[in-house]
Amino acid sequence: MGFSTTLQGRSAHEALLMRQDAELRLLETMKRCMILKVRCDREYAVALSAAVTQGLKIDRSDELSGSLVVAAWRSMMEELDNTSKLIKQNADSIESKTLDALNTMYTEKRKARKQYQEEHTRIAQQFTHLSEDVTRKKVEYQKYLELYKLMRSRFEEHYVKSGRGGRKLDEVRDKYQKACRKLHLTHNEYVLLLCEATEFEKDFRTVLLPGLLEYQQSVQEGYILAWRQLLQELVQFSDFTSEKYKEIQKRIENSLESVKHTEEYNDFTEKHKTTPNDPIKFNFDDSLVEESAGKLLPNELTVDNLTVEWLRTKLSELETSIKEVQEKKATINTSNHEMLHNGKNSNSDLSCRLPIADTNKKELNELKCQERKMLKQTELIKSALNELGCEEVPSGCDLSIDNQPFISNSSEQVALSTNKTLMDEEWFHGVLPREEVVRLLTQDGDFLVRETTRNDECQTVLSVCWGGHKHFIVQTTTEGLYRFEGPAFPSIRELILYQFNGGLPVTGRSGAILYKPIPRERWELNNDDVVLLDKIGRGNFGDVYKAQLKSTGQDVAVKTCRVTLPEDHKKKFLQEGRILKQYDHPNIVKLIGICVQKQPIMIVMELVPGGSLLTFLRKNSTILTEGQLMNMCLDASAGMRYLESKNCIHRDLAARNCLVGYSNTVKISDFGMSREEEEYIVSDGMKQIPIKWTAPEALNFGKYTSLCDVWSYGILCWEIFSRGGTPYSGLSNSKAREKIDSGYRMPAPENTPDEMYRLMLRCWEYQPENRPNFEQIFTVVDTLCQAYKISFL
């Protein structure tokens, strides 16, 4: 039972200080007792010597000559004198050794008590100051937010009054930009301070405070060990040779054997134990960014022309500090290694009786906490800067009203030489995400044009493969024309054709030349080609509609992606389409196309009339036969066998993610979590993981293979034969996970064929290598279906 886990509370800290005070008072009592004992022993030795002198005053008359009694008496007096000398010698030893050691222990123990209290106060105050800094920075944030709103209001007011220009408008715009810059810098400081406070709070609770208490326990136990040695010396110098004193000595020695330094504080810690401090969460106050027009996001750094240099400077400072901390850690580790190697951990004095590594452990813990805190901030800044990529730094101030440019765009008044627009060009890919663009551009000179949104502003981007992938934002002139570095044109289409036909570099710095336009792929549909009809559901990213293709009149299902979702969510949304476009199997839902020409992004798939398998099972539970249920399991195994052959891990196989087509055909759907690889390791935590459908190795280690889907297939079969039942009913996710790890497996649903339940149990083998693959599963289920049909002939 250690200090670090049981004495973190404030009451336990106070109790530990009181315990140390009580031990100091005990040392004072022992000191007074030893001084008195030394004086008494010396007085006793003097008294014995006087008794010897008196005893040797015997009559020397001849009458007693040769008397055996006199010889015996004289001998007794000589031994009594030797006893007197031995008692005085022991008293001198107690004074010169034991008492001196006691005084030294008292001084050092007072010093250790003071050091512990100061260390505890220091790290507690450090945490308090950091918490106060967060509060102050929030107040400062609110102040600059109010200033920003005031300056924006004035700017809008002067713009309406003065029209397009004027010195007064320029002054107001300058003040507005300064207020905007100050708000953004304060925002970033607030985000980094929250990051620092979160890391320090975690380190305070899990490293610094436990480390201090662990070190203090080591110190306390070291003194108990020294204390025991001191008492043993006192006993040694008080050891007389008579049987009576031997018996007393034996009892004292026996009592001393019970003094064990490792058990000294057991009762104390049990009496005063407290639970570790609850984590304190530092959350971004979302109200601070409600009026920033979406430019400032909670817990995300803002990278724009107002903040990018500050972020780069801050990153450089953090990297320098991290290097310094790492050098200090290396020095301490080297020092510990050398002292251990040279055998310098001796017992020559009290301070060296503690393990040398404990002396440096506190400092190492603090350095590790500093390093972790700065690494977290560095990661946050690098992630923000990397997200900018090759595109130009966006503007930090929104110099527009109602999302319209202050300078009117006159390009609409310029007549084109042809009726063809940018959207009509095959090399215009709409809002196709950057990841898909990079995949399409493979050779130097390959190019396409797309649209992107930064800080609520739509921008047109020319993406080119040229020694890597480069992305150029189309610039707008004050006259409403479009250009890069060369001449300006009335339309973006004319600008791109000029660059392509002229063979000129887009920019002098990049040297990128347009050789080959990359057309839209066959599955890239135009949003206007799809007519949305009835809303039939809701997904993680948006609504699901029944729709119709204009060209063929075919009924389809359309998943839409909400326009307001962050870019990373839109990328995840398109991942399902990216995977499905290459699959063709009767038991896999078919992809028809993806609409990325404009918002909202849409995934168009075949319309499966029966809807969700889970809903279908529950609605038709009373009329479905065992043969139909068996065929559903066969359809699912056929689809998963196909995915297995394509190295696709579904990761979310369940009845809710399967659809029912004509003749009760089951189709695998919802590939939002899927990955096309033989093994996938989760690196972004276990958020939104379907615990009760997921294999143990994926939950425990984040490792996914096709054999994880086999585990989920076993749960799917259980859902089918339970006609839409809930797995592990009545158990929470954590309780179900705990029972699975201990060996529990769900019983077979009523009327489940024995062979089918045995297959489920094989799918639920704890070790993945003991599970069958989907090729084997399909063979087993197909055989069972054939046997079932024969039995009913």
Q: Which of 499, 469, 502 is nearest to 485 (CA)?
A: 499
Separation CA 649–CA 651 (nearest Å): 6
DSSP bridge pairs for 460: 451
536 labelled binding-site residue = yes
What is the helix (H) or strand (E) element at residue 268, kind and residue range? helix 266-272
Separation CA 707–CA 710 (nearest Å): 5
540 labelled binding-site residue = yes
277 labelled binding-site residue = no
Q: Which of 444, 497, 506 is nearest to 474 (CA)?
A: 506
Conformation bin of residue 592: beta by default, left when phi > 0, alpha when psi is -120 to 50:
alpha
Separation CA 746–CA 366 (nearest Å): 48
240 labelled binding-site residue = no
Separation CA 103–CA 515 (nearest Å): 89
Separation CA 532–CA 545 (nearest Å): 6
725 labelled binding-site residue = no
Q: Which of 579, 475, 577 is nearest to 525 (CA)?
A: 577
203 catalytic? Reply is no
Q: Which of 280, 282, 296 is nearest to 137 (CA)?
A: 282
Please, which residues have CB within 8 angstroms of residue 514's CB and are 6 or more apart in sequence? 445, 447, 464, 496, 499, 500, 503, 506
Which one is catalytic: 203, 304, 652, 670?
652
Contacts 24+ apart (CB under 8 A), 115-119: 116/16, 116/17, 116/20, 116/212, 116/216, 116/219, 117/17, 119/212, 119/362
Q: Look at the block and give the residue holding tokens 């905007």.
A: 180
Give one DSSP letter per residue of 6-20, joined into a string.
Answer: H--SHHHHHHHHHHH
* Percent of the chain as helix, strand, coil, to the nearest 5: 60, 10, 30
Please, which residues have CB within 8 angstroms of residue 360's CB and are 6 or more apart in sequence? 332, 335, 336
542 labelled binding-site residue = yes
Separation CA 59–CA 69 (nearest Å): 12
Residue 52 in contact with residue 81, Cβ under 8 Å?
yes
Q: Are strands 675-676 and 648-649 parallel, antiparallel or unpaired?
A: antiparallel
Separation CA 368–CA 360 (nearest Å): 12
Q: Please state the three-class secondary structure of 362-418 as a single string.
A: HHHHHHHHHHHHHHHHHHHHHHHHHHHCCCCCCCCCCCEECCEECCCCCHHHCCCCC
Q: Which whole-number Å values give the CA distances from 369 to 117, 365, 434, in the listed order?
A: 21, 6, 37
Q: In what order do the strands lie in the sheet with 469-473?
A: 469-473, 457-465, 446-454, 516-517
Q: How many CB atoms lie within 10 A of CB 292?
A: 20
Please, which residues have CB within 8 angstroms of residue 468's CB and are 6 or more apart in sequence? none
Residue 290 DSSP SS3 = coil
Please, which residues have CB within 8 angstroms of residue 212's CB and are 6 or more apart in sequence? 116, 119, 120, 123, 362
Separation CA 650–CA 669 (nearest Å): 9
Separation CA 356–CA 345 (nearest Å): 6
Cα-Cα end-to-end distance for the chain: 71
Alpha helices in 389-528 (DSSP H): 434-440, 492-502
537 labelled binding-site residue = yes
Q: Which two tokens stand for residue 331?
A: 């020095």
Q: Which two tokens stand for residue 10?
A: 């404030």
740 labelled binding-site residue = no
538 labelled binding-site residue = yes
59 labelled binding-site residue = no
Separation CA 580–CA 258 (nearest Å): 74
What is the helix (H) or strand (E) element at residue 163, kind and residue range? none
Q: Are strands 591-595 and 602-606 parallel, antiparallel or unpaired?
A: antiparallel
Q: Annotated binding residues for ATP, as ranges?
A: 536-544, 559
Q: Annotated binding residues, as ranges?
A: 536-544, 559
Q: Which of the residues are catalytic?
A: 652
